[in-house]
Amino acid sequence: MTIHFLKEIEQLKKNLLALSALVERSVFLAVSALERRDHELVRQVIDADEEINRREVRIEEECLKIMALYQPVAIDLRFLVAVLKINSDFERIGDMAVNIAERARYFAARTDVEIPFDYAAMADRVKDMLRRSIDALVNLDTDAARGVCFTDEEVDEQNRGLYDQIKQAIKDSGGRKPARYLHMLSVAKNLERIADLATNIAEDVIYMVTGEIVRHKAAIYSEDLTE
């Protein structure tokens, strides 16, 4: 490939990593907005979403332009396909952060409404998964990527636990004021979706580096990690 192709690939990498940093910050701010019931943090997350969307479109256009101009094959084509998928996942994570921020705005306007469920452990695990998936992308580290995939079931279990708690709380309340519980369920669901998307990114890192498609192969996630 020409020097121009290599330069465009390098710029594409930089743009994708810049997007990842924005998305990671949005998730952090959204969770903080919920914990603090902070309107200003809610605003920052919602405002950042427009920039995330712009960057996602720009990266997609860059990928398609490179494919059209240089018609890459083998590992270069695999890289571009993976970037397209990871780029889309980052944009969707940004959307999930906005959803959490909107739930935070609801509770920020209702300081008398207690949030009786502890989201902290689940949120911390999700943020850690996202950070590790980004680190795996930066370092093209398949071991780290597999570790992210292996963690996803733990978040699913935390989500099921929160769901059961909230369902019981709805029963105990006699169905009064269901909106607050629906918002609480939404927070847990959006955190769980971010974990799923972080797992998708990790899977695409494995594909990018090795060419191996690991979706639907849960058993391999624990390979070498449980020995």
Please count the structural domains in the chain.
Answer: 1
| Residue 127, domain member (yes or no) | yes
| Residue 89, domain member (yes or no) | yes
Q: What is the pLDDT of residues 129-165, one digit of tens each?
A: 999 999 999 999 999 999 999 999 899 999 999 999 8
Q: What is the pLDDT of residues 85-117, one digit of tens each?
A: 999 999 999 999 999 999 999 999 988 888 877
Q: Is the pLDDT of residue 227 over 50?
A: no
Q: What is the pLDDT of residues 188-202, one digit of tens each?
A: 999 999 999 999 999
| Residue 18, domain member (yes or no) | yes
| Residue 47, domain member (yes or no) | yes
| Residue 91, domain member (yes or no) | yes
Among 16-25, 85-94, 214-223, the range scoring the smallest mean pLDDT is 214-223
| Residue 226, domain member (yes or no) | no
Query: If you search the block for the tokens 């597999």, which residue do you land on?
Result: 146
CATH of the domain at 150: 1.20.58.220
| Residue 227, domain member (yes or no) | no
Range of the domain at 97: 3-221
Residue environment code for 58-97, b if the CB has 16+ CB neighbours within 10 A, otherwise e: ebeebbeebeeebebeeebebbbbbbbebbbbbbbbbbbb
d(CA 64, CA 85): 12
pTM of the shown model? 0.90
| Residue 44, domain member (yes or no) | yes
